[in-house]
Amino acid sequence: MAEPGSTDAPIRFNRPALVGRELEYIRDSIESGRTSAGGPYSAKAADIIMEHTGAEDVLLTTSCTSALELSALMLDLEPGDTVVVPSFTFTTTALAFARQGARLLFCDIEERTLGLDPQHLATLLDESVRAVVVVHYAGVGCDIEGVRTVLAGWPDIALIEDNAHGFLGTWRDEPLGSLGRFATQSFHETKNIVCGEGGALLLNDAADVDRARVLYDKGTNRRAFMLGQVDKYSWMDTGSSFGLSDTLAAYLLGQLERATEIQASRRDVHGWYDRRLSPHADDLGFEVAHPPPDRRSAYHMFYVLLPDNAVRNRVLETLQRAGIGAVFHYVPLHSSDGGRKFAARPTKCPVTTDISGRLLRLPFYNDLTEAEVDRVSDTFLTAVTQAMQESA
Ligand SMILES: *Cc1c(COP(=O)(O)O)cnc(C)c1O
């Protein structure tokens, strides 16, 4: 292992950075004694998210997972109901709905954006389907037009965006997170905007706001009471304790105030990788994704697709041995034990299986330097050249 501080110091996969007034706000939150959910920092953070996305209301949650669970509760799922989810996603995109009693229909992805494949989606729909969940993978909008066309004949099916990667990305100038009835955000330490663990549920339909507030407030009408709309505060409906601590909202506000700068840094890092690697892609047989021209990426990550699984695994090993924190994901959900347990029926997701075996994510965070990107890129190109020779 190289000496820390030498040019060969390890480069981590992810490193959250302080970008603004986070520490000052956290200190103030604790000193003020208002640290539970629904305090002043939460209100300010939610306002910024609303400004960027145009949501009718924003509920800060303990995670993206809990925001997905709250959206599942809002659907009042009944036995026999199903929810369509991508197979190529993080576990809780699916688990949140399975936990609420839905059976899952795993949908394949399309090669261009690694988002939900509308053609496969069309073959999955029937009267049992209550919702379709999309992911804007890597922060690039999925084929929303294709999904909307398929859903046009099914007005009762809710479209839900798991927008964990997509905050500040756009699809045809519309913010990601504004396209579904519900959208969920993640502020986990690995995401673009962080507060350790946190998330948000974006409500894009005004008709959902009152009930969502009750479910969010442990099934009570606490909010209506606080607003003076009712004279007593009592148990009304199902729900849970979804709210983010105001101290974490203080951390989040420090980040959100600098969201545009964070995104600009991430766009730079993405651009450096692109310029270093794309010219070699055809020769070496790997692919670098470029967003379709009608979408602005949220720059959540930088990934490449290697020609096959054996080359991907060799390259990954070489990078890790060189102290470079490259990783892969997702293990397809449709063929996982949990996925099989909660599936309504088996479905075929060949693109998911193929992509999952070939995808490699390179270190990516706001203050990764151009010199570090150069070093990762050089090591990657050498590793691919070697791996291709070995497999020839
Ligand atoms: C990170 C992530 C989640 C989970 O977010 P948490 O805030 O950790 O619950 C869900 N879906 C996707 C696509 C993610 O990347």
Residue-range domain boundaries for the chain: 22-256, 259-391
User: Is residue 69 within 6 Å of ligand 1 at its C-beta?
Assistant: no
Q: Measured in angstroms, how far is the CA atom of residue 384 from the centroid of ligand 1?
A: 30
pTM (predicted TM-score): 0.96
Q: Whose CA is nearest to atom 15 of ligand 1?
A: 164
Cβ atoms < 10 Å from Cβ of 132: 24
The CATH code of the domain at 22-256 is: 3.40.640.10
Instruction: Report percent pLDDT > 70 for the chain.
Output: 98
User: Is residue 162 within 6 Å of ligand 1 at its C-beta?
Assistant: yes
User: Is residue 254 within 6 Å of ligand 1 at its C-beta?
Assistant: no
Domains 22-256 and 259-391 share a fold: no
The residue whose two tokens read 């994704």 is 289
Summarize the confidence of residues 262-268 as an average pLDDT.
98
- Which two structure tokens, joined as six digits, stand for 105? 């229909």
pLDDT digits (tens, 9 = 90+) for 306-321: 999 999 999 999 999 9
Residues that are catalytic:
191
Mutate to test the pocket of ligand 1, among 68, 70, 92 (most ligand atoms within 8 A of CB): 92
Q: Measured in angstroms, how far is the CA atom of residue 45 from the centroid of ligand 1?
A: 19
pLDDT value for 5: 42
pLDDT value for 99: 97
Q: Whose CA is nearest to atom 6 of ligand 1?
A: 64
Mutate to test the pocket of ligand 1, among 60, 97, 113, 162 (most ligand atoms within 8 A of CB): 162
Q: Measured in angstroms, how far is the CA atom of residue 165 from the centroid of ligand 1?
A: 8
22 DSSP 8-state letter: H
Mutate to test the pocket of ligand 1, among 188, 244, 301 (most ligand atoms within 8 A of CB): 188
Rounded distance, CA 271 to CA 276, Å? 9
User: Is residue 193 within 6 Å of ligand 1 at its C-beta?
Assistant: no
Please name which of 166, 160, 200 lies closest in space to residue 180, comparing C-alpha atoms. Answer: 160
Q: Is 373 helix (H, G, I), strand (E, B) or coil?
A: helix
Terminal C-alpha separation, the chain: 30
User: Is residue 186 within 6 Å of ligand 1 at its C-beta?
Assistant: yes
CATH of 259-391, one of 3.40.50.2300, 3.90.1150.10, 3.20.20.70, 3.40.50.1010: 3.90.1150.10
pLDDT band, very low/low/confident/very high, at 91 (cuts 50, 70, 90): very high
Summarize the confidence of residues 5-12 as an average pLDDT.
76
pLDDT digits (tens, 9 = 90+) for 165-187: 999 999 999 999 999 999 999 99
